[in-house]
Amino acid sequence: MENGHGLDGLSGTPATGANKTTVVMGAGPGGLCSAYVLSKAHRPTMVLEKAPFVGGLARTIKRQTEHGEFKFDIGGHRWFTKNDELNDLFREVVAEELLWVNRISRIYFDGRYVDYPLKISNALKAIGPITSARAVADYGRTRVTHRIKPVKIESMEDAYVDQFGPTLYKLFFQRYSEKVWGLPCDQMSGDWVSQRSKGMSLMTAVKDAVIPSKGKVVSLIDEFMYPRDGFGRFSERMADGITQMGNQIRLGTGVEKVHREGNRVTGLTVSTDAGTEFVEGDNFISSIPLTVLAQIMEPAAPAEVIEAAKKLTFRNIITVNLMLKKRQVTPDTWLYVHDRNILFGRFHEPKNWSPAMVPSDEYTSLVVEYFCSFGDHIWNMTEEQLVEQTVKHLIDDMGFITRDEVIDGFIIRAPRAYPSYVIGYEEPLAKIKAFIDGFENLQIIGRYGTFRYNNTDHSIETGLLAAKNILGEHHDLDQVNADKEYHEIKRVAEPAGTPSRR
Ligand SMILES: Cc1cc2nc3c(=O)[nH]c(=O)nc-3n(C[C@H](O)[C@H](O)[C@H](O)COP(=O)(O)OP(=O)(O)OC[C@H]3O[C@@H](n4cnc5c(N)ncnc54)[C@H](O)[C@@H]3O)c2cc1C
């Protein structure tokens, strides 16, 4: 891994301090953030990572071809947070590799485009006057009915209908959500919607369009930070910092067993190419899947905890990465594809994020996302089938590319990419968490580590707070990503700095 200017001040300090070793399970951004913060505080820390690379879901993959090097995130990763401490950390780590990127995202449905997130005038224009009138009327009806007889928002469908009315829900949310989750929206919990779009509704959009008001919801963030050579550089550079500060990241080291005695974790059994070994530690931070953690305790966790872990499910993602001899496919940051006959759900064009993601301006590439579950027809498709299916959709159904523009393609399988908030998930989750909370030296962080739909900023925030707890502070990690408002909303009355360009 390279050295960089942002990390120069960190080198050479041996890890000493309180002399208690922290063992971090998983080298995604969450785990690396914990280790980075502890390393800066001169605490001995060891990161154990099953894969032969750092970065987890937020890594960047390089592919060398005769045309030059292409780089791919696992689905484009945009940095966004309102939290200044996290923005400062991101800037410190990425340093001179930082770029600012304009965000243009659209929904593609039935051959038409609508801005995403929904801009109401643009959405109504795209669906024509008759459907628009119906959308506004049935939204009005929903509001009146819900005012007279308040309904409990339980499912994803309830939440979307409440916010946007039945017509806009069916047109712009139902099809995509069902692709992402693989289940009808009435079986999914409304929690995901509140996390993604609380404070947004047809009402607020219309009000804001006609009555400019103080503190209104003005927009979603349309500019974001991105490392020049792919989002994975954030993790790689944290890893550089950790090793420069004298701590260790052990790749190819999978945690197999978590040994416990009373209310303490005493050590881990890990497996490497050389066999299994026991790793001791004083404090433990886990970013490995919560469902796995609960099932690898030694002695085993109580039967009800194991049962609970089996009830929680994740959605997987497969990205098909295409390298193209073409200058540009679309101007979009992301394009959300709602059509049911097109199997993938979304794609991004890395060159639109950073020119360094392709060998030269003559080339572009696409990262096309398929949502799936273990054993379903998409998960069971071979690499060859998935690449061919993608190329066919892009040529025959969308008219975006021609066959002679395709240089090559490959897939990345990312299991457990999305914690599934299926209705009823809260109960088993609470059982597992109550069990884990009983350990005085074990903290859970990250996305699948906490079974929470956390973006990178939330994942590193949990990592940061877990490290601070070890350093003697007292933070409740459950409060991360528990905002009452959609985290991307920007209000006029807010002080500038969301995030600021410094
Ligand atoms: C398609 C997609 C798009 C996304 N886009 C964005 C975006 O635009 N912006 C954003 O901020 N976030 C985005 N995210 C979310 C982001 O990827 C996650 O929030 C972040 O990667 C979570 O970090 P983490 O460290 O918790 O987990 P991970 O990145 O999943 O890392 C966990 C690590 O643990 C390792 N591990 C697992 N089991 C074991 C074991 N038994 N032993 C040792 N190691 C183990 C894994 O190999 C992995 O490296 C996106 C995610 C996806 C899937």
pLDDT at res. 14: 42
pLDDT at res. 122: 82
pLDDT at res. 497: 39
Atom from ligand 1 closest to the CA of residue 458: 19
Maximal CA-CA distance, the chain: 70
What value does the mean pLDDT of the chain take?
Answer: 89
More confident residue, 180 or 202: 180
Residue with tokens 């974790």: 265
Structural tokens at position 383: 């690499």
Residue with tokens 């079974």: 451
Name the H helices within 13-79.
Answer: 29-40
Is the predicted pLDDT of residue 413 greater than 90, yes or no? yes
More confident residue, 254 or 488: 254
pLDDT at res. 5: 41
Is the predicted pLDDT of residue 17 greater than 50, yes or no? no
Atom from ligand 1 closest to the CA of residue 270: 42
Atom from ligand 1 closest to the CA of residue 29: 25
Q: What distance in angstroms lies between residue 53's CA and the mean position of ligand 1's atoms?
A: 12
Percentage, residues of the chain above pLDDT 70: 87
Residue type, 52: P
Q: What is the 3-state secondary structure (H, E, C) of 322-388?
A: EEECCCCCCCCCEEEECCCCCCCCEEECHHHCCHHHCCCCCCEEEEEEEEECCCCCCCCCCHHHHHH
Give pLDDT tens digits for 374-398: 999 999 999 999 999 999 999 999 9
Give pLDDT tens digits for 34-89: 999 999 999 999 999 999 999 999 999 999 999 999 999 999 999 999 899 999 99
Atom from ligand 1 closest to the CA of residue 256: 41
Residue with tokens 């795209």: 126
Give pLDDT tens digits for 88-126: 999 999 999 999 998 888 999 888 888 887 777 788 888
Q: What distance in angstroms lies between residue 378's CA and the mean position of ligand 1's atoms?
A: 21
Atom from ligand 1 closest to the CA of residue 51: 47
Q: Which among 196, 447, 458 is the best mutation to test ligand 1's pocket, defined by most ligand atoms within 8 Å of the CB?
A: 447
What separation in angstroms does the CA of 274 have from each of 210, 271, 315?
Answer: 67, 8, 32
pLDDT at res. 103: 85
Torsion of CA 178, 182, 184, 186, to 10 degrees: -100
Q: What distance in angstroms lies between residue 32's CA and the mean position of ligand 1's atoms?
A: 11
Average pLDDT of the residues in 290-309: 98
Q: Which among 57, 82, 90, 258 is the best mutation to test ligand 1's pocket, defined by most ligand atoms within 8 Å of the CB?
A: 57
Bridge partners (DSSP) of residue 260 are: 265
Q: What distance in angstroms lies between residue 314's CA and the mean position of ligand 1's atoms?
A: 13
Cα–Cα distance for residue pair 324/375, rounded to 1 Å? 30
The closest alpha carbon to 467, from 29, 10, 38, belongs to 38
Q: What distance in angstroms lies between residue 344's CA and the mean position of ligand 1's atoms?
A: 21
Q: What distance in angstroms lies between residue 377's CA and the mean position of ligand 1's atoms?
A: 24
pLDDT at res. 116: 82
CB 107 within 8 A of CB 116: yes
Q: Which protein residue has the closest C-alpha to ligand 1 atom 22?
A: 447
Q: What distance in angstroms lies between residue 440's CA and the mean position of ligand 1's atoms?
A: 25
pTM of the model: 0.91
CB 231 within 8 A of CB 93: no
Q: Which among 287, 315, 337, 353 is the best mutation to test ligand 1's pocket, defined by most ligand atoms within 8 Å of the CB?
A: 287
CB 324 within 8 A of CB 401: yes
Q: What distance in angstroms lies between residue 26's CA and the mean position of ligand 1's atoms?
A: 9
Structural tokens at position 248: 């260790």
pLDDT at res. 210: 57
Q: What distance in angstroms lies between residue 459's CA and the mean position of ligand 1's atoms?
A: 8
Is the predicted pLDDT of residue 197 greater than 90, yes or no? no
pLDDT at res. 124: 82
Percentage, residues of the chain above pLDDT 90: 75
Name the H helices within 149-226.
Answer: 156-168, 175-181, 191-197, 202-210
Atom from ligand 1 closest to the CA of residue 80: 11
Half-sphere exposure of 306 (CA within 13 A, CB side): 9
More confident residue, 491 or 264: 264
Q: What distance in angstroms lies between residue 28's CA and the mean position of ligand 1's atoms?
A: 5
Is the predicted pLDDT of residue 196 greater than 80, yes or no? no
Q: What distance in angstroms lies between residue 317's CA and the mean position of ligand 1's atoms?
A: 12
Atom from ligand 1 closest to the CA of residue 54: 49
Domain borders along the chain are 5-59+82-97+229-310+425-479, 120-214
pLDDT at res. 209: 56
Q: Which long-range contacts (CB under 8 A, 24 or more apart) does 118-126 make?
A: 118/164, 118/168, 118/172, 118/200, 118/205, 119/205, 120/202, 120/205, 120/206, 120/209, 121/209, 123/168, 123/172
Average pLDDT of the residues in 361-384: 97
Is the predicted pLDDT of residue 494 greater than 50, yes or no? no
Residues with CB under 6 A from ligand 1: 25-31, 48-51, 56-58, 74-78, 254-255, 287-288, 317, 369, 414, 417, 446-449, 454-457, 459
Residue with tokens 């394009």: 335
Give pLDDT tens digits for 202-240: 666 666 555 554 544 444 457 899 999 999 999 999 999
Atom from ligand 1 closest to the CA of residue 450: 26
**Strand 264-272 relative to strand 275-280: parallel, antiparallel, unpaired?**
antiparallel
Q: Which CATH number fits domain 5-59+82-97+229-310+425-479: 3.40.1050.10, 3.40.50.150, 3.50.50.60, 3.40.50.1240?
A: 3.50.50.60
- Between the two ends of the chain, the Cα-to-Cα distance in Å is 27
